[in-house]
Amino acid sequence: MTIEQVSANRSHGGIQSVHTHHSTATGTPMTFSVFVPDHAEGEKLPVLWYLSGLTCTHANVTEKGEFRAACAQHGIVFVCPDTSPRGDDVPDDEGYDFGKGAGFYVNATQAPWAANFRMRDYIEQELPALVAAHFPVDMARQGITGHSMGGHGALTIGLRNAGRFRSVSAFSPIVSPLNCPWGEKALGGYLGPDKAAWREYDACALIADGARVPDLLVDQGDADGFLADQLKTHLLEEACASAGQPATIRMQAGYDHSYYFISTFMADHVAWHAERLKA
């Protein structure tokens, strides 16, 4: 499990770095960023995974997310993977919402996507093993968060792996791909027409089917142009209420879908995770 360092910069007393490696899950090179705050020699720190949204790479949140001050304050390693496999030989789609930049954190089963689009295995298995081998992280203290498509990823991965993550949060998540155009296109294309196979990639369906986490935190802007047709936050509120899943779901007045919104509430999320990731 070798990695190559692309860059490293001092920031808020820690190191912000970017790395590449060859992924066995996707069969392609993959890139991710890591912020490691200052810490005592030999100390292991909790880790917070951030999953990005449609069209994004690791770079969007790394450059715009404004997480480093909060992570330095609370002593949290922050890991940001890419959203899909990349490369000239990787299949793609003309739309922004499918193919490269839009992996939806699933293991595709349909041709031609199945060979490379295995982002579930990459995020749940390969990247955690790689990070544990190369960075000072305490894998008994993991949290996960994300934005939009990445919020969908954070919720579903957290719900499917409840024993692994002490904390799960999201910004503007796609809460039910079974019930929105983005999800219908992506899950139909990657997994085929049988919607029963989609349920493990739908947070509301997972909760209805019995999956639980200790708590959820979700922030959603009420001026988000995708709220009504794609994100449908009310479906998550209804699913949590019906199942008794603890959740704090906050509608933030005047905020849209952008990193202006994410960066405003990032420190709140880091602090919320930090409270739950204490030793």
Question: For the chain (length 279 residues), average pLDDT per consecutive 10?
Answer: 96 98 98 98 98 98 98 98 97 98 98 98 98 98 98 98 96 98 98 98 98 97 98 98 98 98 98 95
What homologous superfamily does CATH list for 4-278?
Alpha/Beta hydrolase fold, catalytic domain (3.40.50.1820)
pLDDT at residue 162, as a whole number: 86
What per-residue confidence (pLDDT) applies to 267? 98
| pTM beyond 0.85 | yes
One-letter amino acid at 146 equals: G
Closest to 220 (Cα-Cα) out of 166, 274, 155: 155
Distance from C-alpha of 85 to C-alpha of 101, rounded to nearest angstrom: 8
Catalytic residue set: 148, 224, 257
Mean pLDDT over each residue of the chain, to the nearest integer:
98
Q: What is the model's pLDDT at position 1?
A: 79
pLDDT at 279: 73
pLDDT of residue 93: 98
- Return the amino acid letter for 252: Q
What is the pLDDT at residue 242? 98
Quote the pLDDT of residue 23.
98
**Looking at beta carbons, which pairs linking 239-245 to residues 24 or more positions away fall under 8 Å?**
239/175, 239/203, 239/204, 239/207, 239/208, 240/207, 240/216, 242/208, 243/207, 243/208, 243/212, 245/207, 245/212, 245/213, 245/216
- Tracing tokens 């030999």 back to the chain, one arrives at 42
